[in-house]
Amino acid sequence: MLSFLSFFAVAEPLDVKFQSKMSPDWLTQEPAANESLELSLMRLIFAHNSGLRPGFALVNHTKASELTRTSPNSCMASILKNPQREAEFLFSKPFSAIEGLKLYLAAESMLHQRLQTKLKQWGGKVRLRELLLTEPDFIIGLDRDRSYGSDLDLLFKENAVSRNLYFKQSGAQIAQLWPMLQQHRVSAVLEYPFMLATTDASKLEGYNVAEAESLQLAYFSCNKSETGQAIIDQLNQSIESMAGTQAYLDLHLKTVPAERQQDFLQNYNMLMLGDSD
């Protein structure tokens, strides 16, 4: 009888510790009115997954990377892929697709007029490298621990533009770049449009950046181990089951202005659902 019952026993959920910028109890709290896209998507994923028992530790990105590198049941969320990270961690399927980085200036900035003149020469997108090389007093605020995509990561390593970059060490909370701009410590920040929900968007004006990806995919990354792979497998099952649902898509579309939603949908279907038609 014991062996018969054990055959039908339900496997215990896997404990997973997300080294994150979320408080330990965020998943049990009511969502904030301005909750970011990544958190809203994670709520859906975990609500439809019975194979994981998620926990959260509020740490900065440097500490999160260290813990995920060394602890078998540790993961991070909303991580961009790059070759260095792929060598260190296991990656899930993409769980979010977001509009690419924009260059944000304070609405009252005196620099808008100069930028508008340059945009006419640049085809409507800021050529960031050219801007930094020709505007010595233009300072961009960046998060030292973040990846900004392959092209921008390479640009920010160039000595020629180093004087234009102000790096802030990653904090344990999201949305740490806006205060730098509001306090006039920098001329502009590079940030994702969906992060506008975490500040007063009426006080900002954004510009498309030529070197940025038009659509950026974000992933879960986990420890390179059997446990890490088992967690990734569970996450992938939930992502695959949810990514094509209207609820999941609607969360994405809330972050995209109506005039850009058609283009976004086309890219979403191709990159998230593998629809190349």
Flag whether pLDDT at 3 surpasses 60: no
Inform me whether the pLDDT recorded for 214 exceeds 90: no
- How much is the average pLDDT of 49-76? 94
Q: Above 70 in pLDDT, residue 2?
A: no
pLDDT in tens, 168-201: 876 545 567 788 888 888 999 998 887 777 788 8
Tokens representing 152 are 């921008």
Residue 109 inside a domain? The answer is yes
Of 186, 208, 230, which residue is a domain's last?
Answer: 208
In this structure, what CATH number is given to the domain that contains residue 262?
A: 3.40.190.10
Q: How many degrees, rounded to 5, is the angle at CA 136 between CA 132 and CA 138?
A: 65
Whether residue 126 sits in one domain with residue 77: no
Highest mean pLDDT among 5-9, 96-100, 175-179: 96-100
Same domain, 88 and 158: no
Considering the domain architecture, whether residues 33 and 48 belong to the same structural domain is answered as yes
pLDDT for the residue 51: 96
Q: Which of 188, 208, 228 is the last residue of a domain?
A: 208
Mean pLDDT for 252-260 is 90
The residue whose two tokens read 């304070």 is 106
Same domain for 222 and 88, yes or no, is: yes
Do residues 128 and 196 both lie within one domain?
A: yes
What confidence score (pLDDT) does residue 83 get?
86
Q: Is the dihedral of CA 188, 189, 190, 195 positive or negative?
A: negative
Position 277 confidence tier, pLDDT thresholds 50, 70, 90 = very low
Determine the structural domain holding residue 267 and report its residue range. Answer: 10-97+218-273
Q: Reply yes or no on whether the pLDDT at 257 is more than 90.
A: no
Least confident of 50-54, 71-75, 102-106, 171-175: 171-175
Residues 116 and 130 in one domain: yes
C-alpha dihedral (42, 147, 91, 20), degrees to nearest 10:
-40
Q: Decide which of 208, 231, 251 is a domain's last residue.
A: 208
In a domain, 5, yes or no: no
Beta bridge partners of 132: none
Q: How many domains does the chain have?
A: 2
Identify whether 82 is part of a domain: yes
The region that residue 233 occupies, defined by phi over 0 for left and psi between -120 and 50 for alpha, beta otherwise, is alpha
2 inside domain: no
Provide CB contacts within 8 A for 159, sequence distance 6+: none
One domain for residues 179 and 252: no
pTM across the whole model: 0.79
Using a pLDDT cut of 90, give the percent of the chain over it.
Answer: 62
